[in-house]
Amino acid sequence: MKLQSEYEKEVEKLSKELEKSKLEAEAKHEAHMQALLRLEQSQKMAYEMSTLMKKCDTEKNKYIKECMEARARIHELESKIKQMSNSNDDEEHITISLKDEVALLKKELEDAKVKIEELKGECEEGVKRVKMVEKEKMGLEEKLKRQREHRHRKRAALAALREVSTPQHFGASTSSYGTPNKVCQPLGKVLNMK
């Protein structure tokens, strides 16, 4: 009777631990789902940053090409101006017109240079954000891995608790005191805790 009372207390204690473990497992599952959501959001942000960087590169290349074309046109017009200044004074009004066109092209060139610098800044910012998102993604993946390992250990512990808490059937061997022969392990050892 005394052994049965101790057995019932042990079963009750194990049942409480089992319930506590179930609650912890549910909490871990919720944390795991939240981590998965954050990982998904990070991956989406990384994709958006990648798309933004491609767009920045396209724009930058476009403005670089425009700058090169403008420089070539400026050089061409300056050559024409030199040729015309060496020719007749009657053509002076044409020279003034060409000088105005050169000034306009130089302004466009400066504007394009400013735009290129802005795009470079945006690209650098995009690269920084992508690196930050990648770092966060790696951290989340590591956290998920640890949670999975912990959940696996919990499941093993729960299985061991169920095995220990199930009553023995009539055909089981018993000791000389009438109690079942079984080896009990401490819960800490089953959970692989230190």
pLDDT at 24 over 50: yes
Q: Per the structure, how many domains does the chain have?
A: 1
Q: Nearest CA to 157 among 13, 17, 1, 2?
A: 17
Residue 100: per-residue pLDDT: 80
Q: What is the mean pLDDT of residues 76-92?
A: 67
pLDDT at 170 over 50: no
Backbone angles phi, psi at 174, to 5 degrees: -130, 160
> 188 or 61: whose pLDDT is higher?
61
Residue 60: per-residue pLDDT: 81
Residue 1: per-residue pLDDT: 65
pLDDT at 88 over 80: no
CATH number of domain containing 112: 1.10.287
Q: How far apart are CA 58 and CA 1, in angstroms?
A: 84
Q: How far apart are CA 136 and CA 163, in angstroms?
A: 41
Host domain of residue 37: 21-164+178-190
Q: Which residue carries 């306009």 as its tokens? A: 104
Q: Is residue 31 part of a domain?
A: yes
pLDDT at 174 over 70: no
Amino acid at 25: A
Handedness of CA 136, 137, 140, 146 (dihedral sign): negative
Query: Three-class SS of residue 174?
Result: strand
Amino acid at 130: V
Q: Is residue 16 part of a domain?
A: no
Residue 167: per-residue pLDDT: 60
Which of 13-27, 58-72, 89-103, 118-132 has the least mean pLDDT?
89-103
Indicate the pLDDT class of residue 80, thresholds 50, 70 and 90. confident
Q: Is residue 169 part of a domain?
A: no
